[in-house]
Structure 1
Amino acid sequence: MSKSISNIDWMNQLENVIREFVKEKLELIMKEEIQTFLEMGQEGTSNRRNGYYQRNLDTQYGRIEGLSVPRDRNGEFQTQLFTPYQRHTGWLEEAIIKMYQSGMSTREIGKFIERILGNAYSPTTISHITDVVKEDIAKWHTRPLQKRYSVLYLDGFSL
């Protein structure tokens, strides 16, 4: 008797494989970054690798847990992949702003993010993120309009 994998299990396995792949590639990039940093920027000094620290990072592929970030003895190395204390990539803010612009409420956005990442964002946090676009929206609403607009309307039918 053969066992079949349910659709949900298959999707979960696929998401886990993708997250693991992304984690491996991010760690590989950071290893190359610190290697280059120590070879080029630290010649003639006693600075060298000093292990790793763990970081969780929320990405568009989900939460990557236990990401090993290399460090140096002098504490001068900083990866270019993310800033210190950054816990999520910029995709999240962009997604929140797009959802807000399309008319979703802050509570709906929070529920959506919770389904994706597994942790909730409060409506207040989402409001702080969407405040970025409120100024742009206000400018767009109060922009001067031209007196005359040219419009071309085409309609077609084909058999």
Structure 2
Amino acid sequence: MTKDELISSEGLLRQLTSRFYERVLEAEMDEHLGYRKHDNAGDNSGNSRNGYTDKTVIMDDNSTTNIHVPRDRNSTFEPIIIPKHEKRSPLFNDQIISMYSYGMSCRDIQRHLQEVYGVNVS
């Protein structure tokens, strides 16, 4: 793999970042609605998923990436990782480095991300 294939605007790193944010947003929506996507528990619940909105996010290096933000029918979903009306990505990597510098082990950080966002990271 070349450097361009890894860090270009369509490179692997940008794709992984987009997928990461989309998975976290889906996990946040699951938490908000109280059930997972395609689960029958959501039938006649009064609120359900209602497609996606495309959003362009400005990354730490001032490049951009596109993500799909899930919507709910009642418009009550408030994303945490990238809040509504925000264009900048939070300093996610800085937060992980900060947790590590405060003494959290890699396993503690992995467990924290799993508990908070429902995302497995290695």
Structure 1 residue 30: Cα displacement? 0.6
Q: What corresponds to 2:3 in structure 1?
A: 11
Structure 1 residue 12: Cα displacement? 2.0
| TM-score, scaled relative to structure 1 | 0.45
3-state DSSP of counterpart to 2:87: coil
Q: What corresponds to 1:57 in structure 2?
A: 57
Count of matched residue positions in the alignment of Structure 1 and Structure 2: 80
The share of aligned pairs that are identical, in percent, is 21
3-state DSSP of counterpart to 2:82: coil
Structure 1 residue 89: Cα displacement? 2.5
Which ranges in structure 1 are unaligned for 5 or more consecutive residues?
Answer: 92-159
Which ranges in structure 2 are unaligned for 5 or more consecutive residues?
Answer: 36-41, 92-122
Q: Deviations over 1:117-152 (max 9, x none)?
A: xxxxxxxxxxxxxxxxxxxxxxxxxxxxxxxxxxxx
Letter of the structure 1 residue corresponding to residue 47 of structure 2: N
Structure 1 residue 90: Cα displacement? 4.8
Letter of the structure 2 residue corresponding to residue 89 of structure 1: S
Whether the 8 Å CA contact 2:82–2:90 is kept in 1: the answer is no
Residues in 2 aligned to 1:78 and 1:90: alpha-carbon distance in whole angstroms: 15
Relative contact order higher in (CA < 8 Å, ≥ 6 apart): 2
Q: What corresponds to 2:21 in structure 1?
A: 26
Which protein has the bigger helix share? Answer: 1
Residues in 1 aligned to 2:22 and 2:89: alpha-carbon distance in whole angstroms: 15
The correspondence of residues 29-40 of structure 1 with structure 2, limited to 5 A, is 29-39=24-34
| TM-score, scaled relative to structure 2 | 0.58
Q: What corresponds to 1:84 in structure 2?
A: 84
Residues in 2 aligned to 1:49 and 1:12: alpha-carbon distance in whole angstroms: 37
